[in-house]
Amino acid sequence: MLGFGLIGTGFMGKAHALAYRTASAVMGDIPGVRLQTVCDVPTDRAEAMARQLGFARATDNWRNVIDDPAVDIISVTTPNALHHEMTLAAITAGKHIHCEKPLALTLKEAEEMADAARAAGTRTMVGYNYIQNPAVLHAQTLINSGRIGRVVHFRGCVDEDYQADPDLPWTWRARRADAGLGTLGDLGCHLVSIAHTLMGPINSLIADTQIIHKSRPLPDGSGRAEVENEDTASAIVRFANGAQGSICSSRSAWGRKNKLDWEVHGTAGMIAFSQERLNELQLYLNEGPKSEQGFRTILTGPEHQPYGQFCPAPGHQLGFGDLKIIEVAQFIRAIVEGREAFPNFTDALGFERVIHAIDQSARDGRRVEL
């Protein structure tokens, strides 16, 4: 049985813990995982979360997770600035690593992480769980089989409103040294992962960004602090296969909670999807009488694996946590079978080259080749 260690017990940390606890029971074809060591600060929070989630040991020092010989897999779900040091230490210790996105604050750090993992032969996974959705996987199958003809255009947006309020206090997310990029690093990278999965790699782009709220009040009321990273970003992209597309992202879009919408246009049809309705795929095919043509809604069900591992009945809905279970199951299989998972550190580096190219293009005012 593999031993699991977790660093960070916030939103994503809890999602990881629940997924590792559940993956074997849901899938049936992978070994169970022992929840060994959890780290958070202060100590009483780590101990409380160990009791709640079922870990055998709690600590307030992340190095104790890495040094624990009973830990085989480590999830790093801390703020972005900590990913680089923690994952490099875990690689050196011979652990398999599941890191939340983005990999690091800078491309240089992300490259170091990917290079180190390849050199060590350790298995890695990065938390782009939206591409694990059975609906997205079915869209990929439809595209690869030529069902909508030759793909010619991708259009996508990803919007939330967690930074829409101008009176929201300043946090580490507004500082490049702590968060790196803004909406691109938090949201836009998810859209890039979808575009890459469905369309293949992006090889050039031209982009623009903006900071909507230039400063925010400090939490203690002592003044205001500058916002250093982007609230919105837009890019016109060209894929390696010759298709064209557009990508936009905002963390300041009032009313949007998890609007990750995309369309793939083909010469014989179109596929459309909305993350807020993550169990539905819209398919248009240019066939049959024109009077009967229109978008059809495909509800995910057991025919769209691995939905059937969760529920035997179609239309009963999977959720965000289920996508994380699918991600974890793929990672465990990769470890057991001695192969690479998708997306690993190298794959994620490719996604993150795109978001940094968008930032560079906006700063330089020119098209960037990748």
pLDDT attached to residue 285: 97
Task: Give the pLDDT confidence of 118-154 residue by residue, as tens digits.
Answer: 999 999 999 999 999 999 999 999 999 999 999 999 9
Distance (Å, whole) CA 173 – CA 179: 5
Residue 187 has what pLDDT?
98
Q: Assign 365 to helix, strand or coil.
A: coil
How many whole angstroms separate alpha carbon 7 and alpha carbon 60? 9
2-129 has which CATH code? 3.40.50.720
For 23, list phi and psi in degrees, rounded to 5.
-55, -45
SS3 92: helix
Contact yes or no for 276/259 (Cβ under 8 A) = yes
Instruction: Give me the percent of the chain exceeding a pLDDT of 90.
Output: 100
What percent of the chain is modeled with pLDDT above 70? 100
Topology alike, domains 2-129 and 130-369: no
Q: Which pLDDT belongs to residue 178?
A: 92
User: Cα–Cα distances in Å, from 36 out to 8, 54, 150, 332?
Assistant: 14, 9, 48, 16
Weakly modelled stretches of the chain, pLDDT under 70: none
pLDDT reported for residue 148 = 98
Helix (H) or strand (E) holding 281: strand 280-285
Query: Given this model, what pLDDT does residue 46 score?
Result: 98
pLDDT at 168: 97
Q: Where are the domains of the chain?
A: 2-129, 130-369
CA-closest candidate to residue 2, choices 117, 97, 134, 108:
97
Which helix or strand (DSSP H or E) is residue 14 part of?
Answer: helix 11-27
List CB contacts of 195: < 8 A, sequence separation 6 or more.
Answer: 154, 156, 202, 237, 239, 245, 247, 262
What is 130-369's CATH number, 3.40.50.1440, 3.30.360.10, 3.40.50.620, 3.30.70.1400? 3.30.360.10
